């Protein structure tokens, strides 16, 4: 039996020569793909590192992520085209190739989503050092999940499966799940609202209803606040978006009104000096801006003054430091001027033994 007869022998509808050429196609195609993966891709990596843009690095990283089984199967698929195979084998081979392509396409889109999420998170981190990227990661995972669902439906459609009833079933099932998890989903969507609207951020001092404290964590379902007493308060995000939130960290200018009183025995000249004394005290303190100081009214046991000033910082502790400095300054200045601060008093008039009003009156601290 000579070589031509051997090559002409048939097995499963193909000659030995056909199998030989199929083997050649497999070896050549795999060699080309292997050369691209090992040599050319390695050189492209070096070139990509020298460029300023990150797009080429991203593309190289995606191609590198394609594993060797894909190259082997592509070589097998090309070699099968040389042979006469059963239609079922041809169909299955196309389906398997489609699965590979969709799998790596979805992975590539997922990497694009992750890269975009990293860019957004870094941008937010530059704007806010306390930025929490958990919400960005959640949105990225949700988007990736939707991509996988769409890819699966596309794959089933190419397999000849009618997906319209399946989509309808998913819609009904999704509606049932949404109704069952209504409270949780409401909190999740509320967390999205908090993230994008930014009514507060980590480190802000807020008052929510009867609760107040510093925001420690903004989660998917709830927000945690460290109360002034030390305990942690957990509030659902739905409640946060449906109630009034007083954010004192965003306060850029605080208006302060406080009264004080001096005794009725204070001479008129000293009463006239008091507004200027208090004004100068406030004017010398950093971050404090006096607005007005007035002899306000005649109180029950004091001559009352009202002071209004502004603080150009929102920190409550700094504001209290300023108020303390003002109070100490007023006390010191009044001691030098001989001005007495008033305290609650009452005057008692007692008749003498003959029933006449006493000329003498007694002032007593209440």
- Angle, to 10 degrees, between the axis of helix 182-197 and the axis of helix 164-180? 90
Sequential DSSP letters for 14-52 = EEHHHHHHHHHHHHHHHHHHHHIIIIIHHHHHHHHHHSS
Count helices and strands (H / E) in the chain: 12, 12
Name the residue with tokens 């596309």.
154
Neighbours of 181 (CB within 10 A): 12
10-residue stretch averages of pLDDT, the chain, 366 residues long = 61 71 85 84 77 73 80 84 76 84 86 80 67 70 84 78 65 57 65 74 82 82 83 84 80 88 92 95 93 92 94 84 95 93 73 54 44
DSSP label at 83?
Answer: S
CA atoms of 59 and 41, how far apart (whole Å): 11
Q: Where are the beta strands (DSSP E) in the chain?
A: 10-11, 14-15, 205-208, 211-218, 222-227, 232-236, 245-247, 254-262, 288-298, 303-311, 345-348, 362-365
Residue 315 tokens read as 């920190």
| 134 CA to centre of own chain | 7
Contact 301, 265 (CB under 8 A): no
Q: How many CA atoms lie within 13 A of 130 on its CB side?
A: 11
Fold of the domain built from segment(s) 254-346: Alpha-Beta Plaits (3.30.70)
Total-model pTM: 0.50
Extents of the domains making up the chain: 3-174, 198-247, 254-346
CA atoms of 109 and 146, how far apart (whole Å): 11
Contact 25, 86 (CB under 8 A): no
Neighbours of 238 (CB within 10 A): 20
Do 198-247 and 254-346 agree at the fold level? no
Sequential DSSP letters for 175-232 = HHHHHHTHHHHHHHHHHHHHHHH-S--TT-EEEETTEEEEEEEE-SSEEEEEETTS-E
Contact 61, 112 (CB under 8 A): no
Architecture (CATH level 2) of domain 198-247: Roll (2.30)
Residue 163 tokens read as 């997906």
Q: Is residue 354 helix, strand or coil?
A: coil
Using the Cα atoms of residue 345, residue 349, residue 350 and residue 352 in order, give the sign of their dihedral: positive
Name the residue with tokens 């802000």.
204
Nearest to 219 by CA among 180, 179, 184: 184
What's the CA angle centered on 8, arms 7 and 11, to 5 degrees?
95
- Angle, to 10 degrees, between the axis of helix 316-337 and the axis of helix 268-283? 150
Cβ-based neighbours of 75, under 8 Å, separated by 6 or more: 25, 26, 27, 29, 30, 33
CA atoms of 207 and 316, how far apart (whole Å): 13
> What is the reported pLDDT for 231?
86
């Amino acid at each position: 039996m000579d070589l031509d007869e051997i090559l002409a022998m048939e097995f499963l509808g193909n000659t030995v020569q056909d199998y030989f050429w199929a083997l050649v196609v497999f070896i050549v195609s795999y060699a080309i793909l292997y050369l691209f993966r090992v040599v050319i891709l390695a050189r492209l990596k070096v070139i990509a590192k020298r460029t300023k843009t990150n797009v080429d690095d991203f593309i190289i990283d995606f191609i590198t992520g394609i594993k060797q089984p894909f190259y082997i199967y592509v070589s097998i698929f090309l070699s099968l085209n040389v042979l006469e195979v059963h239609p079922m084998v041809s169909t299955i081979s196309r389906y398997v190739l489609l699965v590979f392509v969709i799998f790596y396409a979805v992975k590539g889109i997922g990497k694009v989503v992750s890269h975009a999420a990293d860019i957004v998170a870094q941008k937010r981190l530059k704007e806010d050092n306390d930025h929490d990227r958990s919400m960005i990661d959640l949105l990225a995972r949700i988007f990736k999940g939707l991509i996988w669902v769409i890819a699966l439906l596309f794959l089933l459609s190419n397999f000849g499966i009618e997906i319209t009833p399946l989509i309808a079933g998913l819609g009904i099932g999704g509606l049932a799940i949404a109704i069952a998890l209504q409270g949780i989903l409401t909190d999740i969507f509320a967390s999205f609202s908090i993230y994008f609207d930014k009514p507060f951020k980590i480190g802000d001092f807020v008052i929510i209803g009867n609760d107040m404290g510093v925001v420690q964590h903004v989660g998917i379902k709830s927000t945690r606040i460290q109360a002034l007493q030390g305990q942690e308060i957990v509030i659902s995000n739905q409640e946060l978006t449906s109630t009034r939130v007083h954010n004192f960290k965003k306060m850029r200018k605080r208006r302060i009104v406080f009264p004080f009183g001096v005794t009725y025995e204070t001479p008129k000249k000293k009463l006239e000096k008091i507004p200027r004394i208090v004004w100068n005290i406030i004017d010398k303190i950093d971050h404090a801006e006096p607005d007005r100081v007035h002899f306000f009214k005649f109180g029950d046991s004091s001559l009352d003054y009202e002071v209004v000033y502004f603080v150009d910082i929102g920190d409550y502790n700094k504001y209290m430091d300023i108020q303390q400095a003002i109070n100490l300054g007023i006390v010191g200045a009044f001691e030098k001027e001989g001005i007495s601060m008033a305290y609650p008093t009452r005057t008692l008039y007692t008749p003498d033994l003959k029933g006449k009003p006493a000329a003498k009156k007694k002032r007593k601290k209440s």
